[in-house]
């Protein structure tokens, strides 16, 4: 029987210092990447979907603009773009940390395909994630902004994404770090 992927969430509080804006923890990220690489080497059949929170990157911007609760004003849309940029900056740091130890991480930005309704995911492209898993890649997703049919815009957390994807990908395990 084909086992589902293992979902691993790297919490924003774990990989950043939430007391200081835009403050990643590079040594910890290297350690986590190496530990995950060791786990894959011990069981090459493991398929992983990685996700990470925004920690001191996206949360600071999101709280400035109240993005999670809707976006309707020009200032709010400016904040929406800034939240996305902050989340993407941390995502690049995470992806680079994992690639540096030789893991084939492929970053997939949720805002490129997600659509929400009152803060709940209506659609999210799953095919790229499935193709990445089939190709032996490690898809990497993250909490990000999304257009919302009722609220204009919102934020979808990594947990929101995992809950949605779990119904489609049937993970074997979900690990929250």
pLDDT band at 19 (very low <50, low <70, confident <90, very high): confident
Which tokens is 6 given? 């293992």
- Specify the pLDDT at position 25: 96
Kindly tell me if the per-residue pLDDT of 2 is higher than 90: no
pLDDT of 160 strictly over 80:
yes
Q: Could you tell me if 70 and 154 are in contact, meaning their C-beta atoms sit under 8 angstroms apart?
A: yes
Taking only the tens place, the pLDDT of each residue in 25-80 is 999 999 999 999 999 999 999 999 999 999 999 877 888 888 999 999 999 999 99
pLDDT surpassing 60 at residue 1: no
Q: What are the tens digits of pLDDT across the range 114-149?
A: 999 999 999 999 999 999 999 999 999 999 999 999
Position 62 scores a pLDDT of 84
Antiparallel, parallel or unpaired: β 105-107 and 138-142:
parallel
Q: Decide if pLDDT at 108 tops 90.
A: yes
pLDDT at 58: 84
The reported pLDDT for the residue numbered 164 is: 98
CA angle (141 as vertex; 138, 143 as ends), nearest 5: 160
pLDDT tens, residue by residue, 79-94: 999 999 999 999 999 9
Cα–Cα distance list, 142 to 29, 73, 94 (Å): 15, 25, 10
Number of C-beta neighbours around residue 151 at 10 A: 18
Structure-block tokens of residue 83: 């939240």
Give the pLDDT confidence score for residue 3 in this predicted structure: 82
């Amino acid at each position: 029987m084909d086992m589902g992927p293992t979902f691993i969430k790297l919490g924003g509080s774990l990989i950043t210092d939430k007391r200081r804006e835009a403050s990643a923890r590079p040594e910890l990220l290297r350690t986590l990447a190496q530990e995950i690489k060791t786990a894959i080497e011990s069981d090459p059949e493991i398929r992983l979907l990685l996700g990470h929170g925004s920690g001191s990157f996206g949360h600071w911007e999101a709280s400035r603009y109240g993005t999670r609760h809707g976006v309707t004003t020009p200032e709010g849309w400016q904040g929406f773009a800034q939240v996305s940029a902050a989340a993407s900056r941390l995502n690049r740091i995470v992806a680079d940390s994992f690639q540096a130890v030789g893991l084939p991480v492929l970053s997939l930005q949720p805002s490129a395909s997600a659509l929400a309704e009152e803060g709940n995911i209506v659609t999210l492209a799953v095919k790229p994630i499935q193709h990445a898993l089939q190709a032996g890649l490690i898809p990497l997703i993250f909490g990000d902004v999304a257009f919302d049919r009722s609220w204009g815009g919102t934020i979808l957390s990594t947990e929101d994404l995992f809950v949605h994807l779990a119904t489609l990908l049937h993970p074997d395990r979900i690990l929250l770090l």
